[in-house]
Amino acid sequence: MAMILSDIAASFGEFLTVISYTWFIVLPIAGWWFFKFLWMKHIQLRYLLKMRFTLLEIIPPQNIEKSPQPIESLFLAMAAVVRTPTVFEEFLDGYFTDPFSLEIVGKGGDGAHIYIRTPAAMRSMVESHLYAQYPEVEIAEVPDYVDEVPAVVPNKDWNLWGTDFELTDPDPMPIKTYRHFEEDVTGKMIDPMAGLIEILGQLPPGQHLWFQLTITPLPEKWTKTVGLPFVQEKAGRVSKKASPFEKIWIDITDIVKGVFTGIFSPPEFAAKEEKKEEQPLEFRLTPGEKRTLEALEANVGKNVYDTKMRMVYLGRRDSFDKATFVSGFIGGIKQFSDQNSNGFKPNDASKTYANYVLRDSRLKYRQRKIFSRYKDRDPTGKTVLLSTEELASIFHLPDMAVVSPFIRRVAAKRGSAPSNLPF
């Protein structure tokens, strides 16, 4: 034991000796990385605080006979805000791509509401594309609904439960989109928002359920640099390249395995294997694998958004019912899951729960953290990649089949004045 401790001390001394000769190389590199991290956080926050945002409430018409596909035109237009900043804009001004926020909100006693939070400079673009697809829609600038509840939650009167969402499988495997919600006989779409609207509309007074998608468009080059290589890997045309650390770990495990194999068993000499001619890929895939690969390839061909997806349920403690409303809403989100491709699940690191040590204080910290991040529309943390089709499946104007009285709709059809009026 003493010899082992002596060897450790000697190794540590050698390490300090090496550092004493190389500190002028190591420390500036580490210091620069640390300085850059803090600097970018500072200037990007300053850039964000200068931005002005507008919260728009979208009131759908009475009779929408369209699928969610028209809303994709809005997401395609939003993707046009992406541009490549100059070095000075990025590192001196803190420029980053404008974020948007898509929100579906249930207010107890007031039904469900649909909002889009947009940079003020992009308001006219959002409105024009919505009016182009839904001429009878009503769009109104409204105060932020997050100010309707206490500034600090939880407190003695209010409780809260919240979570971020993540994907069950790696990006960019697709979720189930609106194209999968059509009846086989009639061909009509079963609107996946129907269940979510019902849950939001059943909230009693004093209860709120907020659902938020904070989206930032990615450059189109993402498709060539990330999306298509992922498709090629899934198709078996290219093998995944191991990182340097993975290669080192593979070598170590091979050495250890070889040593123990040589000690406890006689040596074996691998026979030369004859290379077998493989069948073409289309003959090796099952029908389900073919459909999954086709859906994946179609998905990566669309514009993609880096998406922060979260929900918060909060309300007065005397009528707080997590079992009904949280479970019901997450069940509605599960509609978009497909066991053969992808789906959503609550992100464990963000869920508002705590076990074992200091449970109460840790739980309150988690609750107030996700509440604050929701109000700020904070896009950082665990995100998912969603295409325009996937976004349109989750966030769209409910069609006429959603007859729930809990969704606010345009009261009367708008029309232009007669052309023969006297002046």
Rounded to whole angstroms, the Cα distance separating 33 from 27 reads: 10
pLDDT at 187: 64
More confident residue, 212 or 251: 212
Q: Which two tokens stand for residue 151?
A: 């500034």
Higher model confidence: residue 358 or residue 103?
103
Q: How far apart are CA 190 and CA 187, in angstroms?
A: 9
Question: So what's the pLDDT on residue 252?
Answer: 66
Beta strand 138-141 with 207-217: parallel, antiparallel or unpaired? unpaired
Under DSSP, is residue 289 helix (H, G, I), strand (E, B) or coil?
helix
* Number of other CB atoms surrounding residue 284 within 10 Å: 10
Q: What's residue 417's pLDDT? A: 47
* Whole-number Å distance between alpha carbons of 334 and 26: 49
More confident residue, 398 or 213: 213
* Digit-coded pLDDT (tens) for 335-390: 999 888 899 999 999 999 988 888 999 999 999 999 999 999 998 888 999 999 99
Please enumerate in sequence order all residues whose Cβ is within 8 A of that of 236, keeping only pairs 6 or more positions apart, or say none: 281
> Model confidence at 68, in pLDDT bands (50, 70, 90)?
confident
Average of pLDDT values for 224-233?
A: 84
Q: Are strands 100-107 and 304-316 parallel, antiparallel or unpaired?
A: unpaired
Q: Does residue 414 register a pLDDT over 80?
A: no
Give percent of the chain with pLDDT exceeding 90. Answer: 42
- Please name the residues in contact with 304: beta carbons below 8 A apart, sequence gap of 6 or more: 172, 217, 218, 222, 223, 227, 385, 386, 387, 388
Mean pLDDT of the chain: 83
Res 147 pLDDT > 80: yes
Is the omega angle on the peptide bond into residue 28 within 30 degrees of 0, that is, cis?
no
Residue 23 predicted with pLDDT over 50: yes
- For residue 15, the number of C-alpha atoms closer than 13 Å in the C-beta half-sphere is 6
pLDDT exceeds 80 at position 182: no
304 neighbors 218 (Cβ within 8 angstroms): yes
- State the Cα–Cα distance between residues 62 and 46, nearest whole angstrom: 42
Q: How far is CA 140 from the centre of its chain?
A: 26
In the numeric block, which tokens belong to residue 145?
A: 């609904």
pLDDT in tens, 105-134: 999 888 899 999 999 999 999 999 999 999
Unique residue bearing structure tokens 């990566």:
300
Closest CA to 110 of 210, 13, 208, 189: 208
Opening angle at CA 193, ends 99 and 320, nearest 5: 85
Write out pLDDT tens, residues 238-277: 655 556 656 666 766 776 666 556 665 665 555 555 555 5
- What is the per-residue pLDDT for 214? 96
Q: What is the mean pLDDT of residues 130-148?
A: 93
Task: Kindly state the greatest CA–CA separation across the chain.
Answer: 107
Contacts of 364 (CB under 8 A, 6+ apart): 154
For residue 262, what pLDDT is reported? Answer: 60
Q: Report residue 406's pLDDT band, with 50, 70 and 90 as the boundaries.
A: low
Judge contact between 201 and 408, C-beta under 8 A.
no
Could you give the 3-state DSSP secondary structure of residue 302? coil
Lowest mean pLDDT among 96-100, 220-224, 398-402: 398-402
Spatial separation of the C-alpha atoms in residues 118 and 142, rounded to whole Å: 12
Closest residue by Cα to residue 396 from 53, 127, 57, 102: 102
Q: Rounded distance, CA 132 to CA 375, Å?
A: 30
CB 190 within 8 A of CB 378: no
pTM above 0.75, yes or no: yes
CA distance 379 to 72: 21
- Give percent of the chain above pLDDT 70: 80
Place of tokens 């009904």: 324
The CA R_g of the chain, rounded to the nearest whole Å, is 27
Task: Give residue for tokens 């001196």.
Answer: 92
User: So where are the chain's domains?
Assistant: 52-229+286-394
